[in-house]
Amino acid sequence: MTVIVPVRHPELPRKLPAMRVLAALLGVGDPTPARWKELGEALTIGDPPMDAVVDWMYRYGLDVTWPLFEQALAQGIAEMRGAPAPLRDFFVEVESPPAWLERDRLHRGARVYRLGGADGVYVARDVSFLGGYLASGFNKTLLRTGALEKGPAKRFAETAQWALNVTAENGLQPGGPGYRSTIQVRLIHAMVRRRVAAMPDWRGTEWGLPVNQTDMAATLVGALIAPLVGSIPLGIIPPRRDLDDAAHLVRYVGWLIGVQDSFLPTDFRGAVRVLYHTLSAITDPDETTPQLAIPMADDPLNWHYRNFPALRGRIARAQHLSIAGALLGPKAMRRLGIPAYMPPWYPLLRLPVNLVRSVLIRLPGGADRAAARGRRAQEAFQWTLTGSNSVVIGESVRGFG
């Protein structure tokens, strides 16, 4: 069957100068014509296994089926007697790990993210999350979930909590916090896809399917690989083997969240390849870009500080703009609608500190000590985002579906 590629897919890859330099250093080339065609066609593909579960949930009513889904996720499908077939089929597949999975590599890969400490989360926020608004096709889905009215704080807090869960010690073990929250995100994606696609103003021939495979692959590597790439200029340089293990973690998370195999990386270079190729397909800022980016740039003014909140809010705003400006560049900043230049004072301050730490992690026991210290810093930043409020994965769109 011939697939009609949505209009939003460009004829040729868009230019990404900064990514192109990194790709060249790693020996990653531009997408082949076959890969480019696949990226365009993937804009029309959702997540059939989870979409079938969601169809069943709506057919029988969310008040009945949602608790059953949560029970299967918490206890495992084998513990549910008489589980409905759609639920059983899905969880039997998800609970059967792929043959390529190596759990010791998941352990080392998760540690890489904890090594980055708060700086790694800052890069995730200021490059991956804020820079992600340059992808206007995804913005069109996001705006229809009420993201503009709800503001960026809740959505980023949920994303950060998901990342903390995924990279926790044993977080991806069956029943672990990362495993459960990833499946919950997959469910929310399918509900959003179903609801937005049915909206009368959704233009499928132009935009494709909401939360499609191309956007999901870009979001996956954007959330978990782009922060590793962006942390290198800040002096956070893990050993290459550890980066490959981090890519193995990304591969498993992508498998759990419903990304098709052809977009799952097998090593760090492959992860950068997916990042480069997907971004060259979806980066296309429009009027929705500043709509979403400007409130996020100003969000540090409203975070939770234990003392001097007004002063610390202004400093934090400047700090995060300095990271974004240094790593995204002035052209991207202008397209985001935020100040095009902020002196890169924070990256310059952190560079020597992180370089020393990158050396120390190679000493016996150094990586484990740095990972423990880094996780404490990440959790402290999460408190700054949320205060005493608990974070529920998917809460910002739950009820929307």
In the numeric block, the tokens 């980016």 are attached to: 293
pLDDT of residue 153: 81
pLDDT of residue 202: 96
Contact 54, 187 (CB under 8 A): yes
Side-chain half-sphere CA neighbours of 401 within 13 A: 24
pLDDT tens digits, 274-333: 999 999 999 999 999 999 999 999 999 999 999 999 999 999 999 999 999 999 999 999
Q: Walk along the chain (401 residues) in steps of 10 and give the mean pLDDT of each run.
A: 88 89 89 96 97 96 95 94 93 96 97 96 96 94 86 87 96 95 96 96 96 97 95 94 97 98 97 96 95 95 94 97 95 93 95 96 94 97 88 64 54
Q: In 10 A of CB 32, how many CB atoms?
A: 10
> Would residue 209 be called left, alpha or beta, if left means φ above 0 and alpha means ψ between -120 and 50 degrees?
beta
Contact 22, 53 (CB under 8 A): no
pLDDT of residue 2: 76
pLDDT of residue 272: 96
pLDDT of residue 398: 56
Q: In 10 A of CB 175, how many CB atoms?
A: 12
- d(CA 105, CA 369) in angstroms, rounded, equals 18
DSSP E strands in 60-201: the ranges are none
- d(CA 113, CA 239) in angstroms, rounded, equals 13
Q: In 10 A of CB 275, how many CB atoms?
A: 26
pLDDT of residue 397: 56
pLDDT tens digits, 273-284: 999 999 999 999
State both tokens at 310.
Answer: 């007004």
pLDDT of residue 73: 96
- d(CA 155, CA 123) in angstroms, rounded, equals 16
Mean pLDDT in the chain?
94
In the numeric block, the tokens 């740039």 are attached to: 297
pLDDT of residue 166: 97
Choose among 65, 85, 60, 47: nearest CA to 77: 85
pLDDT of residue 363: 93
State both tokens at 99.
Answer: 């043959």
